[in-house]
Amino acid sequence: MQTNWHKFIARIYHAFLSLQQVLSYHSNCPNAPYRTFDGTCNNLQNPSWGAANTLFARLIPAKYSDGKSQPPLAKDGSELPSARLLSVEVFEEGVQNSPEFSLLNMQFGQIVAHDMALTRGVRDQVPCCANGRLQPNRGSDCFAILCLPRILCFLFEE
C-alpha cells in the first residue's frame, strides 16, 4: 500500500525527469566576463537553467476547473475570492520602514520581476484591460483579475 509520502516522492521524481527533458538543451557558451541578458549560460553545466523562454517545471499538476485554463473552484463549486482582493485586504498598503529589511530585499525582488518579464507570453500581450476596465472583446487567453473599485482590472495572461 502506497502512502501519501510515497506518492509525493514519486511525483517529484517524475517532475525531475520531465525537467531533465526540458533542460537537455545545450549551446556553445561564450567565455565572457558578464552574464547573458536572457539567462542562458549562467550555469555552464546546465546552460538553459534559468533562461528566458524555457518552461517552468511543476512538482504537482496544475489545477484548473475546466482541466485546461480556468481558475480552480472552491470545494462547494463556487468561485474562489480574487487573489488581488485578498492581498490588498491582508497586507496594509503604504510606506513601511523595517530595519530588518535592506536594499538587498528590493534588489532580489527586481531580479525576480525582471526574470519573470523575460518568460514566455509577455511579448504578445492580450488586451484584457484598458483604463482599468475589462475589454468586451478580450481573447480567450485573457484572465482579468477583478479587484476593488479603485483597481478595477488587473492584467494577467495565461
Domain membership of residue 66 (yes or no) is no
Nearest residue to 120 via CA among 105, 103, 141, 149: 141
82 and 48 inside one domain: no
Which domain does 153 fall in, by range?
A: 77-157
| 65 within a domain of the structure (yes/no) | no
Q: Are residues 45 and 110 in the same domain?
A: no
Write the burial class of residue 41 (CB in 10 Å: 0-12 exposed, 13-18 middle, 19+ buried).
buried
Q: Which residues partner with 145 through β-bridges?
A: 154
Nearest CA among 93, 81, 91, 94 for reference residue 147: 81
Residue-level pLDDT at 151: 56
Is the same domain home to 47 and 85? no
User: Residue 114 corresponds to which cell in the numbers above?
Assistant: 525582471
pTM value surpassing 0.75: no
Residue 105 lies inside a defined structural domain of this protein: yes
Tell me how far apart the alpha carbons of residues 157 and 139 are, in angstroms, rounded to a whole number: 10
Q: Is residue 102 part of a domain?
A: yes
Residue 149 lies in a domain: yes
**What 3-state DSSP class applies to 50?**
coil
One domain, residues 46 and 95: no
State whether 38 and 94 are in the same domain: no
Are residues 42 and 99 located together in one domain of the fold? no
Same domain, 48 and 116: no
114 catalytic per annotation:
yes
Tell me what percent of the residues of the chain surpass a pLDDT of 70.
Answer: 62
Shared domain for 139 and 83, answered yes or no, is yes
Residue 44 lies in a domain: yes
**Greater model confidence, 6 or 47:** 47
Going by C-alpha positions, the residue among 10, 12, 9, 38 that lies closest to residue 25 is 38
pLDDT tens for each residue of 60-101:
888 888 888 888 999 999 998 888 888 878 887 777 777 777
Same domain, 33 and 85: no
Task: Report helix, strand or coil for 11.
Answer: helix
Domain count within the chain: 2
Last residue of a domain, one of 9, 39, 54: 54
39-52 mean pLDDT: 82
**Does residue 70 lie within any of the structural domains?**
no
For residues 46 and 102, state if they share a domain.
no
Is 120 part of a structural domain of the chain?
Answer: yes
- pLDDT tens-digit readout, 115-126: 766 655 544 555
